[in-house]
Amino acid sequence: MKSAIHDLKVAFAFLTRIPVSHGPVLSMGGVSSWFPIVGAVVGLIASSVWVVGNTVLAPLSASALTIAVIVLSTGAFHHDGLADSMDGLIGGWNPEQRREILKDSRHGTYGVMALVLQVAIQVSLLSELSVASGVVALVICQSVGRAAAVWIMKSGVGISEGLGANYVSDVKGRNIVFATLTCFLLMGSLMGPMFVIVAAVVYLVSRLFAQWAIKKIGGIVGDVLGATEQVGESVALLTIVILVQQGVAIPWW
């Protein structure tokens, strides 16, 4: 139990700017088990802003503030991975050059545009939801986006000695199963059996994205995990908006 609580603390400290004290990191695999829970908490923080914002602002403005809070609470951690990945995966000419671009902390045109489009897409999609549906969507998207990163950790070899390599070597099947079950239980409790559609779409897209990255650079790096989380978030939000447009009641209760 102490080990699990420690891993949860590390997950919060690693993925967010929430001040959490913890001991030494023993296994990134154990830490990854808690990613969906951390995401759900980030979603709850953001949903409080979403609810309050909708009482005094138009939906689009409330949506923009909500996404801004997510960026601030996570330190744009996954956004950085998205930008670096787009620069490297699209901009390079061969695997070696792409890996070098991924190591560069500066963002190029592809990375900047990926960030702009990501924020614009999420702000516009969230603004189309009702207050209640938005709360559910925020919690689910933040949780399943981080689950998506866990799902691809065993997709390929870890490149270099970075975080991607640590995850690939440390994560075990039980870590992936635990992360998946907690995410699915949360999703099911919030949106009922229709969560299967959202989870399936996110899983499929995350696997395709991972395979594309592996083809481009030969394995998994931390930036690709961050990019997968961001892609998972937007895909989940898009799927939820489509379901709502088709008459599905997202807060099923």
pTM of the entire predicted model: 0.94
Burial, 56: exposed, middle or buried (Cβ in 10 Å; 0-12, 13-18, 19+)? exposed
| CA dihedral angle for residue 98, residue 212, residue 224, residue 222, rounded to 10 degrees | -70
One-letter amino acid of 135 = V
pLDDT category, 117, cuts 50, 70, 90? very high
The rounded percent of the chain whose pLDDT value lies above 90 is 76
pLDDT over threshold 70, residue 162: no
Q: What pLDDT shows up at residue 103?
A: 85
Scored b (16 or more CB within 10 A) or e, 58-72 reads ebeebbbbbbebbee
Show the tokens assigned to 182: 């907690």
User: Mean pLDDT in the chain?
Assistant: 92
Q: What pLDDT shows up at residue 146?
A: 98
Closest CA to 45 of 20, 19, 74, 21: 74
